Copies of this chain bind each other. A is one copy, B any other.
Amino acid sequence: MEEQELAKIEHLGMQRVVIVGGGFGGLELAKALRDTDVQVVLVDKQNYHTFQPLMYQVATAGLEAADIVSPFRKILEGQENLSFRMAEVMCVNTETQVVETSIGLIPYDFLVLATGATTNYFGDEQMARHAIAIKSVEDAVELRNTVLSNFEKALQIGDNEQLNSLLDFVIVGGGPTGVEIAGALSELRKHVFPKDYREIDFRQMDIHLVQSGDVLLKGMSAEASQKALEYLQKFGVDVLLERRVKSYDGYTVTLNTGETLITRTLIWAAGVAGAPIEGIRPESMRKGGRYQVDNYNRVAGYTNVFAIGDIAAMTTPDFPEGHPMVAQPAIQQGRLLAENIGRLLASQDLQPFHYDDKGAMATIGRNHAVADVKLLGKEWKTQGFVAWVMWVFVHLIALVGFRNRLAVFANWTWDYFTQNTGARFIMGKRREPIVPAGEEAHRVVS
């Protein structure tokens, strides 16, 4: 590590917990350490927390970016033992106990990795270049802008294949994100786009959902999987089960069956992986880019380095590959780790983590959702309107910040009654359709 200055952070004369990443796990931990006798330094490359479960609605113009983000400094206001720093983390030195960041070195007594997950293209570089993935709210905004400006362009196209390349969508991955995006696009196709683009015949707009397995929403109940498939088919989504995408050049999608689809918008929702951090011993990393942790979220081989949430793999008999990479394990691990750090300081025995699985839900469209809820030791399976109402309330309650909650509630109510989602503006980054090499004919008016 080259010589670098210390980042300027006030010293509170207490042991210092440095948390890298302010997603669900890192934020919960930071908040739960409020009354513990430690100094907390939360580092994130953004100055806001993102409510990831609703990112797909930003991508499909249902919500505005501002609705699902909240500044860390606002959420953590008044927490005396906490300093937030907006910075990139370069690497960690576990010998000297410092984190090297874009604003200087940050020493720690306890280090918590809560960096989440990133998109996994399984090494396919062409796919990584051409596909769109939604890992940040900025990505979601870019997707929205791209879709809307493709439709603006489509107005100028006479050629039928060209037109379809702009109107059609291929979504790869039949998990919650893929299902929710496919559903949201089908609703836009039915209620919004035909009014906005009168000149386009939206029977030409195809939405393909490609899923390698034989069911959607793998991990949920058979009833949920079945109903999700039925709802999507009812909404006119072409669900392609047991199919894989072999390649995509920005225009032609080739499936493992030899079938081809034409689209300028392939949305990749097929895989995530933890992102390794330089300086952490590679032997602690498992397949899928997650760090092996013990029952106390300690990274294998360290006593004062922890990992929580998506980046951590706590392997148990129930979860041989680690917990699902969703919000609840991250939140629960963050909360327990705060208590365990208190116990460490008091030289008490640590408490092991037990996952309280509350179930899962996914929404396909207005009045259509599926839910497997674990409550009072029982599993409740429900689909349709009741599941949808549950989904709405669970997400509203979980949103951080009263102002966001109010705005989202107002927007959803408005959209429900008018079927006229409002965030259809093109503002900020967007992708221009890519012209594959040597395929001049594919060019569209820009």
Contact = CB atoms under 8 A, between A and B. Distances in A.
A287 interface: no
Nearest to A154: B8
Interface residues of A, number: 56
A425 B50 CA distance: 11
Given A148-B47, A403-B414, A8 B427 contact: no
Contacts of A423: 66
A118 to B, nearest CB: 19
A69 B426 CA distance: 10
B48 A152 contact: no
Interface in A393-433: 401-404, 406-407, 410-411, 414, 420, 422-429
B155 A427 contact: no
Given A69-B427, A407-B410, A423-B66, A77 B149 contact: no
A288 interface: no
Contacts of A69: 425, 427
A74 interface: yes
Contacts of A446: 102
A425 B156 contact: no
A227 interface: no
Contacts of A424: 47, 71, 73-74
Nearest to A7: B156
Contact of A425 (B71, B402, B406): B71
Contacts of A428: 138, 141, 428-429
A426 B47 contact: yes
B85 A155 contact: yes
Interface string A100-114: 001110000000000
12 contacts: A8-B156, A47-B426, A48-B425, A66-B423, A69-B425, A69-B427, A73-B196, A74-B196, A74-B420, A85-B152, A403-B414, A428-B429
